[in-house]
Structure 1
């Protein structure tokens, strides 16, 4: 298995994981977030397949996750829901690690890339995965420190401990 094939498998595994989490969160607003992340990962796999097959592809900005800030709007509602979901923090930590691994892999591929199109692809994927990472970092903080969370987690300033 070459590096592109590995990256495709990793993206499809991520898609599968997020779809499972969406199913597990059908009764709350995280369902939509997990479904959007699953679609993003599927799109990343398609981009990588196009790169592998030397098919032309477009790296348009992905506005899909632009509305995730809305998920964090009512922190008191979230606090109540999260207290009822066992092991949810473990789910977020697992996803955070998956995104971190993806970022590191794509940074490595970016450094090794020799042509401009490949460099653009891996630079784009690094940014996409960094956005996913931020989502789970915010969710973990929300669950661990709900009383200290600001009104809008996506744009708020958090004090680091």
Structure 2
């Protein structure tokens, strides 16, 4: 398996992962975030496939980061998902790791690029994956806030009780 085939597989695995997350979440905003991420990963796989087959492709800018930031602003209470799906936070952390792997791969490929077209191509994918990482990191941060609030010593049982 060459490096582009590996990257295509990685992107398709990411698409499946995000689609699976969209299926199990009960929060419509989170579902939307995961569907957007899945769509992006599918788009990445398609342009990687075109590049692998030496076909023309277009590197289109998207608004994924701003779209998801707007969705996060609208989410008031993350606690309901955590109570229903206690391991969900771990799943989001796994997604963060997957995005880190993509970032590492595209950084390596960018450094190894010898022509401007390759540099532009891998810079594009690197930027996209960094945005995905930022989105997931914000999600984990928001979920941790609700965990921290629930587990806060102010609200917990102390030895004085």
> Which category of TM-score, normalised to the shorter sequence, fits these structures?
0.7 to 0.9
Q: CA deviation at 1:10?
A: 0.5
Q: Does 1:128 align with 2:128?
A: yes
Structure 1 residue runs of 4+, over 4 Å off?
none
Aligned counterpart, 1:142:
142
Q: Deviations over 1:101-123 (max 9, x none)?
A: 00000000001111211111100
Structure 2 segments unaligned to the other structure (5+ residues): 150-161
Q: TM-score, normalised by structure 1?
A: 0.85
RMSD of aligned C-alpha atoms? 1.9
Contact 2:99 2:133 in 1 (8 A): yes
Contact 1:75 1:146 in 2 (8 A): no
> How many residues were matched structurally?
149
Contact 2:19 2:34 in 1 (8 A): yes
Distance in 1 (CA, whole Å) between partners of 2:3 and 2:78 is 39
Q: Deviations over 1:22-45 (max 9, x none)?
A: 111144321111111011000000
Structure with larger Rg: 2
Contact 1:14 1:98 in 2 (8 A): yes
Aligned counterpart, 1:103:
103
Aligned counterpart, 2:60:
60
Structure 1 segments unaligned to the other structure (5+ residues): 150-161
